[in-house]
């Protein structure tokens, strides 16, 4: 059993535990190692409650709520309460979504308004991320794609990065150019939150501290094969 699992098992079911208790339970291990295993597993096995106090994340009791409703109506969500928004909105593009006798979006479509981004900004926590799946740019949608970025900026978002999703070996031979990608557009609400553990400060204070930036870079692209047609349950399944 790894040290992280040992700490997890030891405090599983308890309301919370202190670093001191974790040290006492593992007297043969250096304090820095115990702290490091807890920090490495924040959000996975452990959650920080307050200064020096942590709790185990009960993996067996996680819940997921699915609301079948209007995704543009976020009224039921409190201000600054959401850690991340990831969305694949049904962009209205009558020209690009048709190819010969085929229709590529047989569902309700719309174009974003500034109000949509203001609502997303209202519910997201400061520094957290809004991820928008967007179509590859073409002659029909380039203005709308720019408009989205302008709306996001006006609502308080900052352009973080954009990573292309290359759809593996899939190629759609429609329109002027063969297509095999979509974009994953990432914004942060204000300055992106700090995601890099500040080891020096953490070791010195015994409290987990973060520095700006993150531990790794985003890749040049996400090269992922889409769901096959026979396994697809939605026309635009990701």
Ligand X SMILES: C[S@@+](CC[C@H](N)C(=O)[O-])C[C@H]1O[C@@H](n2cnc3c(N)ncnc32)[C@H](O)[C@@H]1O
Q: Which stretches of the chain bind ligand X, using CB under 6 A?
A: 70-72, 88, 90, 107-108, 110, 234, 236-238
Q: Which residue is it, tokens 């995601």? A: 195
Which of 39, 104 has the CB closer to ligand X? 104
Which of 29, 89 has the CB closer to ligand X? 89
- Closest distance of CB 147 from ligand X, Å: 18
- Closest distance of CB 35 from ligand X, Å: 39
Q: Which residue is it, tokens 């006798």? A: 101
- Closest distance of CB 74 from ligand X, Å: 11
How far is it, in rounded angstroms, from Cα 195 to Cα 192? 9
- Closest distance of CB 105 from ligand X, Å: 7
DSSP per-residue codes, 164-201: EEE-TT--B--SSS-B-EEEEEEEEESSPPPBEE-HHH
Residue 171 · residue 178 · CB < 8 Å: yes
Which of 116, 192 has the CB closer to ligand X? 116
- Closest distance of CB 107 from ligand X, Å: 3
- Closest distance of CB 140 from ligand X, Å: 16
* Secondary structure (H, E, C), 98-135: EECCEECCCCCCECCCHHHHHHHHHHEEEEEEEEEEEE
Q: Which two structure tokens, joined as six digits, stand for 19?
A: 């670093």
Best CA proximity match to 189, nearest among 112, 97, 127: 127
Which of 54, 91 has the CB closer to ligand X? 91
How many CB atoms lie under 10 A from the CB of residue 91?
Answer: 20
- Closest distance of CB 87 from ligand X, Å: 8
How far is it, in rounded angstroms, from Cα 91 to Cα 69? 18
Best CA proximity match to 183, nearest among 94, 88, 115: 88
Best CA proximity match to 130, nearest among 84, 89, 91, 163: 84
Which of 1, 233 has the CB closer to ligand X? 233
Which of 42, 74 has the CB closer to ligand X? 74
Which of 72, 118 has the CB closer to ligand X? 72
């Amino acid at each position: 059993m790894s040290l992280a699992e040992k700490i997890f098992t030891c405090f599983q079911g308890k309301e919370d535990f202190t670093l001191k208790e974790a040290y006492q339970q593992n007297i043969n291990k250096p304090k820095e190692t115990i702290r490091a295993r807890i920090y490495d597993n924040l959000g996975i096995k452990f959650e920080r409650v307050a200064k020096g106090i942590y709790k185990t994340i009960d993996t067996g009791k996680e819940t997921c709520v699915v609301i079948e409703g209007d995704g543009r109506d976020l009224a039921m969500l409190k201000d600054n309460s959401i850690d991340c928004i990831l969305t694949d909105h049904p962009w209205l593009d009558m020209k690009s979504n048709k190819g010969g006798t085929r229709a590529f979006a047989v569902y309700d479509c719309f174009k974003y308004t500034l109000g949509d981004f203001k609502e997303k900004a209202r519910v997201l926590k400061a520094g957290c991320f809004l991820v928008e799946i967007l179509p590859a740019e073409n002659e029909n949608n380039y203005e709308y794609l720019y408009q989205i970025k302008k709306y996001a900026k006006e609502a308080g978002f900052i352009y973080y990065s954009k990573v292309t999703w290359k759809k593996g070996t899939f190629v759609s031979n429609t329109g002027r150019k063969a297509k095999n990608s979509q974009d994953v557009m990432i914004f942060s609400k204000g300055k992106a939150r700090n995601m890099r553990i500040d080891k020096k400060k953490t070791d010195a204070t015994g409290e987990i501290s973060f520095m700006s930036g993150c531990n790794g870079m985003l890749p040049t692209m996400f090269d992922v094969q889409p769901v096959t047609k026979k396994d697809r349950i939605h026309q635009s399944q990701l």
